[in-house]
Structure 1
Amino acid sequence: MVETLTGHNRSNGISYNEILESDTVPPPAIFLEDSPMEPGVTTVETHRYWTKEEHDREVERLWKRVWQMACHKDDIPNVGDTHVYDIAELSFLIVRVSETEIKAFPNSCMHRGRAICDNHKQGQKALRCPFHGWSWELDGTLKEVPCQWDFPSVSKKTHSLQDVRVGEWGGFVFINPDPNCEPLEDFLGDLDRHFQIPFERRFVAAHLVKRLPCNWKIAQEAFMESYHVVGTHPVLMPAFGDANSKYDVWHNVSRAMSPDGPPSPHTDFENPNPESFPDGKAFQSFIHPISKHTFRRLEENRVEVSMPNGKSGIFDMYANYIEGDLKSADLHMCNWVGGKIAPGEEDTPIAYNDEPMRVFRDRAAKARREEMRPAWGIWLIISAMLI
């Protein structure tokens, strides 16, 4: 059982609102609005995270009834593009029917229930089941049934694909399997007030998927609180107000905001502290702001950890002991300092170094151009010869 007490007591650090009010640039008014949970004990039983009964309950009362983001419009930019959205044992097919219309259907053949599409596809002229070849128009209307004479009761009226409710917000495509659900606009309420970013003008530049061996709520909760920063991400504490975070709850919207810049109230820093990074670089060394242990990268998968009393030890990136009189070390810090990094990232400066990050990027880009210049020269000579 996990029990938390929601109340008005807080850390010794100033509040998120006080940080905003001290800024020389006025924040959006919505950031200063408060809508906290009611004070009191919140108890979450452990069975909600692992039992089959709870899973089935969520499928029936959540995934079959709630609006959920299925994809982005850039995932299906052209007519005939399809996107498969799976949740629990449910599967849905999102289809670009025309330049202005997107539809969704259960990803299940009306004949034997076989998935119509196993993965995302582009430029489909029709939706065709790969088992017996039944097919539908992009708008879900039954198109063709092989050996139609064997199915006298099958028609467009009886066996066209069933529509699933579709809505769009900020370029994102939402679906709701419940035909009697409220409109997406009503479900989202005044979500627009929380954003000044024109999401509808953004585009998908990359799609990253990471599958985690855990209940979905475990993964979701990790990105809804800053409580774990002190234990998991101590490297953020010199310039991240984890305990200054603010949490608000509206009807179907919850919000978590943390200030980036002020040091954590868990530390004794008054201002962002670059001294936590003795080399002035993000991945070479770090002095833990609470334990004061120093972690220094010797090479990939090899970290030296030193205590203020002089004890030290060498560990791999998983905090496994190698040698020295210090026998244990922080796993997260060993991984941060001694883990794998991309070539050239060894010199990445800390974010609040004297030189802004763009200077480092410009310098790296210039070095890369100089490295490639000989090849460009050869290409130009060949081009001139061809002309």
Structure 2
Amino acid sequence: MSELFTITDEHESLREAVRDVADDKIAPHAAEVDEKAAFPQAAYDALRASDFHSPHIGEEYEGVGADALATSIVIEEVARACASSSLIPAVNKLGTMPLILGASEEVKQVYLPPVARGDAMFSYGLSEREAGSDTASMRTAAKADGDDWIINGQKSWITNAGVSDFYTVMAVTDPDGKRGGNVTAFVLHADDAGFTLGEPERKLGIKGSPTRELFFDGVRIPDSRRVGALGEGLKIALRTLDHTRVTIGAQAVGIAQGALDHALAYVKERSQFGKHIAEFQGIQFMLADMGMKLEAARQMVYVAAAKSERGDADLSYFGAAAKCYASDAAMEITTDAVQLLGGAGYVKDFPLERMMRDAKITQIYEGTNQIQRLVMARHLLK
């Protein structure tokens, strides 16, 4: 039986390297990125300079070829400093994973190297206004026209829309076909004629990562931009999420770790009734629970990452479980961290209120935690 996961010396060295970059180049800008709802350009530049912007892409496509566990560590450590910035490597993986799983070698050679080099970013278009969790009911359509496809429709909640150069988009190619088996994946370019963006969403958290709608009005693209076979798009999309839910779990772990770090520093300095509040048993019990939940979440994410790397048959279950547990834990830990700081936790002078707001989205995107529980239950009931 293969080991669940192994943390190597290389993984630990990677963690130290990413943490150094995050502490030095990313954390100092996190509050401003949140306040101005500005894309974290300084973080992107720092991540590109250190090859942490898309570590998952293989060496054959000019990438560094980090395994799934190493990629999770990168995202975790960046999220510890700034959740918005962690969506740079996370969404580059989300956008390119359909290509890695299902595209022809020709398509991979066109699109993966520029992302690996840091010349382009990649987003993922699956959700629609009326087709959120019910992905098979999407209405975006691609109609064949000779050797081209004409795409019409829209996509909602697209992370890093407007800064990404490429978008993996799912569209119905056979309106009379079997539900779920009539969807095909395509790559769209930001400058394609007829491809426009909605206004940036005004969000609770992850404000530095732009979220916008995509609109397609007669967008003509060649068949050479098709990802996988006709009708395989939704299958590829769901397989993608099996892998990338692990990275959302890693993001949640990173946010929670950052919150715990700040809370620990505060309670060891803050004095009340003649002693540091860290000496009170009630505070210690809260910290113990936070640390316990965090480590359990980290272990689940690392197990799921190892399964993602191996392509284990039960990845769907473990990816859902890791994302669900870690995001719930992050919401609880950041909430408790705000509580430990009292009034100081509720104001922007400290990063805890930002971390609490950022944590919430991890329970929602890439499938709400209610959907994750459905995925797990169906696996258990097989």
Greater strand share, 1 or 2?
1
Task: Report which structure shows greater RCO (CA 8 Å, sep ≥6).
Answer: 2
Greater helix share, 1 or 2?
2
TM-score over 0.5 for the pair: no
TM-score with structure 1 setting the length: 0.32
